[in-house]
Structures are given as structure tokens and as C-alpha cells.
Chains A and B, each alone.
Chain A
């Protein structure tokens, strides 16, 4: 199968890869590049476990072809922390015990990041609406919503 050469910027670093045209961004991140933080939960855009940012917007990487990302900025969970310094959202998920099995966590954090980037002070309903494309089966969402609320406050204070 012929493979296409694609140049992107991934987590702030110029990154090239070869992929088949039919390969999703999720497949290429996981299988070709080796970044497995984005997870496959449903492979059809209904669970959000594969959420990444594409040019600053949150997308389901299972519903993006890798070839589409030529010339674009991709951000994944692996690029969120600054070295050993976790992002406030990551810390809040830990402190609030907002994960159990953890498989949905990267997607929730990336979706939450996109929310707080565009709306620094969302109310509970807005957080729940925004995160409704991310399924979690362990937590009942309570602690996830609290973690995002706390992160919103801490991010505002950090400014």
C-alpha cells in the first residue's frame, strides 16, 4: 500500500510521518508515532477517548484522517505537562480522584483543556454539556466535573 508523507507540528515539534490514506489520526498517533495516550473506545466519534487538539480545537482523532493533518498543529495528552510539571488540569484530576480505571482520562483532560482555553469560568451545566461527548463508565462524572471546576478556579488564580 502506497504511503503518503505528511508534515505536521505535534506537541510543538515539527513531525513527519508516513501513513496510508485510510489511516485515522488515532491509528497513526498510536501505531506509527507511538503516542498511545489517545485511546480507542468506539472508533466512531461517540466516546471521546481519542480526543486531541487540531489547530487548538478538540476533535475525535478517530474521525480525522492522518493525511488531513498536513501543515496543521496537533496537541495530545503527552504534550500537556511541561516536563515534570503537570498542567493544573492534570493535578486537579489527581487531587479530586477524578479517575478510576483511567482509560477515558486523557480524552476528558484534552476536552476540558479546550473548554477552559475558550471559556475560563464555565458553570456546572456548561462543563457537563461540553464534556457530554466524553463517556466515563467508572466515576459517574461527579468528581470529573469537580476537577474541572477546581482547575478553572486555579487557572484563573494562576493568571
Chain B
């Protein structure tokens, strides 16, 4: 671990067993689909078999006759949503689009688009009823590729959508599938290209890919007899579910309570709502609690993967400096606007000081599922292109690719493409750690073996968090939080509270509670939870410390300024013999002023961006096209590693998702817009046998915007792998692959000149 200016901590940096661990290894933890309620019935969704069609009619009469069916729902049963944008934290959503995506109104815009819902005595009966719903469609030509969708004569998904130019707010005259256009530029591109030592220009494509969380979406709704609504669901954001469900159902937010169940992975894909209002309304109609679940095919076809893309890049180098970048980024948004092209355009150049750039970004609708966030949304796609081009420039010029990244690295004060200067960052440190790694210092030898590197950046988020810390009279603390724990944040938050009040980790019992029981918390996403909710834990701990200081001052009859809190104790500065431990004060709380509770509700600012540098060795079998990952090392500036094991785990998980994206994962469509590989059999996520151990090197450049120096950790690890692997394959084969995935088929065709 490389650590810079880190104070001594007692709890932070240790590796305790997570508080929710035992429940999860014994099978007792309750995930969304595990819920059982008295009278529970089961909901299923009918989905469009067509990629693009008008809905002429929906006849549910035969389905209603199936014995055991309690309720049937279509879009017409909803009160109708307004054309309003709701911030989801890492992504925003237009409510009318959201409702149209929950159940289609007049058109289906992708295969898998939800059309109707049934609640029945069990799932088998619900499926039987779905098969009896008659939907009359008028087929329309689908548009599946982003470049096809941008053509003037392309079939339009929405006749009334015009291109919005983000710099000016202007709308195009003609309707278009291009939802938005943005342009970021600075400097003198032409002059920089003219003066360059080397210029590389390339086109890149990437395919739509899925987050791949193992737990399918689920939601259980109960429309209570008092008119309130309870939702039990696996989501990354209970408050987002509450607010959107209330909005879609035209209910006051206070009437909706969302109870977070354990969540089986999300990676951004469980930020949107799909099932919650459906479960609620089915419950209203049937008078029973209704559990609606997706199956795996539903998840692939009907949830929110991330964009496929077309990108064109031109970059110049002079005197070993990156001098100019021109980029056109075209991202598939899926059926409704909202691709992460903006984030891609704003992150791709962040690792570098580059003065001349022109980035054009297009958000384009196509007849595919509406994309959702996926781990550093957009950034891996942009990084794939720029990091490939930089690798090619370095190769052409005979420059060490890590030295180049070090020499060109952004640092404090470097302006991002948005013009905002970076605060203290660890870009250089991350590259240096890679250069110092045993991996980089070891040779790579043998035929068809190669090494690649790439670097990446992600902003990380802050936003709103609330926690309450209730001190019990035995000196233990119940930490009440509202950030869903998707991978160990009960531990990382409790550790920060323990550090702040100077008590053992085991004395803190964290609980993730429902939306009625804690103040607002934004989603678990944007790598914000350990940062922002951690900041709230710190503030709540400080709140407790202040209260204890005030009480001790009163007990001792001294001024508040004369009492300090250290190592879980208060003592008097005037008289060192006067000392009270946290435990003693907790025990005496009833006599010293009543219960002690620390609270914090805050808007966390000061999120620190994260940089990561990856090194990968591959071996390519030229006869089969198979790429084997031989060795992988990932360095990352994490600010401060609260629980290093879970930091490593986030890095390793992100890397392996990146390996899948680079080598095998893709939505494989036929011409009609049917996804041909909507199962785990043919959507090829890496298995344990496909990857080696992933070596991690944690770099700690504390974030000045957080009391413990925390930076977000979870997202940036997926940014470098696509390019690092492509660069390694180029090194191994001499062939540069600019289209993802670099599947065995692509490799064997390219290396053997097959058609």
C-alpha cells in the first residue's frame, strides 16, 4: 500500500468481519425475492416480442378468466405521469419516459418492453394468463445501430423528439433519433495537429453490455387499507423508489414506504424503477400483497444495460506530450434518451493535461432497452478509445506507455475538459505505483504474449445522506442508516463511526432501515456511500462527542472549552484526573441529561476523483482466437482505504467485469431486433476459470474533501480494463482491435484472414 500523509487510525484500515456477514453465509439474509407475506400473490410481466411496433389494442378478457388470476394491469391503469425530470443521483429520468418504460403506452420500442402485468395465485398461473393476453401490433422497422439511427432517413422512435443542442438549448427543426448533442472544446486543434510529431486516427465500436448482477429485479407491493403503500424491494436507492413510485402513482411521498431488502448486485442497474409501481397497483386491484419478479431473460431484455457506441478519435503527440484530441462519441441510449455519453466525454481526457480538444457527444435512441448506469457509466467506453489511441501513439514513437502517462498526468490545478480545476488527486501516484509494481518490472516473454496498460478516471459522487447513531447504556451504538448495503458499506460506515467516537468496531451495530425511519439518502451509486454516508457517520460521531463534552463539563463544573474528547474518553484539560469513558457516560446517560443520539443529515460536497492504472498480460491463441489473461495488476488511488479487503474486492470485481466486456460480453441482435443470447449460457460473463488472481495495489492520496480522506472506490476499476486488454492484444499479435468485444471470433478472423 502506498500511503501519503495518512494519520494513524485505530479502526480505519483494519479488516473486521462485516456485520451482515453471518446472515449471508448461512443463507438467512433476506433478499427481495425471499419475502413471504400472508396472502402473497405473484406478478409477472408480458413483454413485447417486437423491437418496434404500435400497440393497436390489448385484450385481457381471456386472461382474466384464468382461474387464480387476481388482477391485470396495462399502462392505462396508471394515472399518467408528467413530463418532468427526476434526479436519481447518478442519472436523471424523465417521468413520462419512465412510466412508458414501466408499461408501454402507444408504442413498444424494444423487444422485452413491458406491455401488461398479471397477478395470480402463483407464477405458473400468472404466466398462463400472460399467454392469453392478446396484443395487436402494427410492426414498424426497427433501428438497432447507433449510426443507422442518426441517419436523416432513419425510422423515428418518437416523432416529436428533436435534437437538443446542450450548449445553446436549441432544438432541431426536424425530429430525430439524436436526443442531445454536446460539444466540449478548447485550444487550437488545427495548429496542434499541424505541429504534431505523430497523429493517430481510428474508429471504435462497442456493443451493448449488461451489468450482470446475479439477482433478478423484484418488487413486492402492498396497497394497505389505509391508503398507504409499502414496497419491499432490492434497489440501490430506496428513496428514489419511493419518490418515483409516489410520482407515477400520483400519491404523496409520505404515503409510500420502501423497505430495503438485501440486494444481489446492481452496479447501477438497480437505480431505475421497473416493477415497484406495478406491484403497488396490482396490489391495489387485487387487495393482496403482490410480488413481481423478473426472470433472467426479462433482466437482459427488459432492464437497463449500458450503451453500445461508435466513436471516432484523432489524437496528436509532440515532444512526448499529448497535444490534441478530436473525438466524436455516439452512444446508444436505448429506447429513451439518457446514455452516459456526457460522462464519457467529460472523463476520457481527465488523466492527461491536454490543451487542445474538441469532443462531440451524441445521445441517440435506438430500439433496444433503455440504458441504465453501469459502473462509471460511459467512462470505460471513452477510455477504450482514447487509451487505445495513446497506446498506438506511444508504440509508434517508441515511448514507454507508463512513462508517457506519468509525464502527461493531471495533477492538482489541471483543468478538466469542463474547465473546472482538479483538487488534490492521485493520477501521478497511481501511474507511479504501476511502474514500481513487480508486474511491470518483470519481463513478458513468449510468442503471442503481450502486455498492455491503460489508465482511467471517475468523478465519484457526493450528494445527500442521513444517519442517526443511538447510544445504548451499555456503551454500544445502533447506527441507523438509509444507504443500501450492496457490498460491505455497513462495515465501512460503522468503521468510520467507531473511529470518530473511539470505540471498538464490534460495539457498533449498523442497520439499513426503511424510508419512514431515516432522513433522505440518495442512491447507493456513484461510489458515494462510503464517502458521503461515511461523512454523515463522522458528523454524527462528532455530534455525540459534542454532547458528551457538554455533559462532562456540566458534571465537572468546568467550561466546555476545557473539556476534550480523545480515544473514546472525555477529560478535563484543567485536571487530568477528571476523565470519563464513553462507556461510563453511556451508562450514566439517564442521570446526565437523557438519551444520547448523534445525527447528521447532509449534502456531501468534496467528492474526490479516482484514478486507476492497470497492467495486463495476455496470451493469444492465433489458431482459435482465444485470449487468456495471464496476469493482472490494478493500482488505484482510493484516498483512504477504510476496509482494505472490500476495497480490493471492488477493484477485483470491476476488473473482471471489464475483462468480460473486453473479450466476450455483448448483446447479440438479429435483424429483427431480437436479442439472441439472453441467457447466462450465451451472454458470456467470466467464470472463475476465465480469470487469474487480480493483484491490487492500493494507493492512498487522502481526499481533502473528506474527514478521513475517502474517495469513491467502486467504479473506476472498470474504466481501464477494456483498453488495457486491447493494448495487450495489440502487443501480442501486432493487430489493433478497435471493436469490442475482442471475441475469439473477431481475433481468429483477423489473424487468419477469414471472412
Contact = CB atoms under 8 A, between A and B. Distances in A.
> Is A–B contact present in the complex under a CB 8 A cutoff?
yes
Interface of A: 20, 22, 30-31, 34-44, 46-47, 49, 76-78, 80-81, 86, 90, 93-97, 99-106, 109, 124-125, 127-129, 131-146
B26 A80 contact: yes
Contacts of B25: 77, 86, 90, 93-94, 99, 102, 105-106, 109
Interface in B628-683: 643, 645-646, 648-650, 652-657, 679-681
A103 B28 CA distance: 11
Interface string B160-186: 000000000000000000000000000
B287 interface: no
Given A42-B680, A86-B25, A139 B652 contact: yes
A81 B25 CA distance: 9
B27 A99 contact: no
B213 A143 contact: no
A127 B688 contact: yes
B689 interface: yes
Contact of B488 (A35, A96, A97, A134): A97
B745 interface: no
B34 A135 contact: no
Given A102-B262, A132-B687, 17 more contacts: A36-B34, A39-B264, A40-B33, A76-B27, A80-B26, A100-B486, A100-B653, A101-B487, A131-B688, A135-B687, A137-B212, A137-B653, A139-B652, A140-B655, A141-B691, A142-B649, A145-B693
Nearest to B67: A1
A59 B674 CA distance: 31
A110 to B, nearest CB: 9
A35 B30 CA distance: 11
A96 B694 CA distance: 15
Contacts of A104: 214, 264
17 contacts: A39-B31, A47-B214, A78-B27, A78-B28, A86-B25, A100-B646, A101-B264, A101-B265, A103-B214, A127-B688, A132-B687, A133-B687, A136-B688, A137-B213, A139-B649, A139-B653, A141-B687
Chain B binding surface, main DSSP class = loop
B680 A137 contact: no
Contacts, number: 186
A94 B17 contact: yes
A97 B22 contact: no
Contacts of A137: 211-214, 265, 267, 653, 657, 685
B518 interface: no
Among A38, A97, A138, residue most surrounded by chain B Cβ atoms (within 10 Å) = A138
Interface of B: 15, 17-18, 20-22, 24-31, 33-34, 36, 122, 124, 211-216, 262-267, 295-296, 486-488, 643, 645-646, 648-650, 652-657, 679-681, 685-691, 693-694
B262 A42 contact: no
Among B211, B212, B214, B685, residue most surrounded by chain A Cβ atoms (within 10 Å) = B214
A151 to B, nearest CB: 11
A47 B24 CA distance: 18
A76 B24 CA distance: 14
Q: Which 4 A-B pairs have the closest CB atoms?
A: A37-B27, A103-B264, A140-B652, A100-B487
Chain A binding surface, main DSSP class = loop
A40 B214 CA distance: 8
Contacts of B34: 30, 36
A136 B690 CA distance: 12
A138 B265 contact: yes
A125 B691 CA distance: 10
Contact of A94 (B21, B643, B652): B21
Contacts of A96: 645
A65 to B, nearest CB: 13
Contacts of A95: 17
B491 to A, nearest CB: 9
B487 A138 contact: yes
B194 to A, nearest CB: 45
Nearest to B634: A140
A150 to B, nearest CB: 13
Nearest to A148: B688
A102 B652 contact: no
Given A132-B687, A140-B694, A37 B264 contact: no
A100 B653 CA distance: 9
A99 to B, nearest CB: 6
A42 B294 CA distance: 10
Contacts of A106: 25, 27
A136 B26 CA distance: 17
Contacts of B487: 100-101, 138
Contacts of A34: 36
Given A94-B17, A100-B646, A140 B656 contact: yes
B501 to A, nearest CB: 24
A144 B688 contact: yes
B213 A101 contact: yes
B22 to A, nearest CB: 7
B688 A134 contact: yes
Contacts of A31: 36, 122
B21 to A, nearest CB: 4
A97 B651 CA distance: 13
Nearest to B32: A103
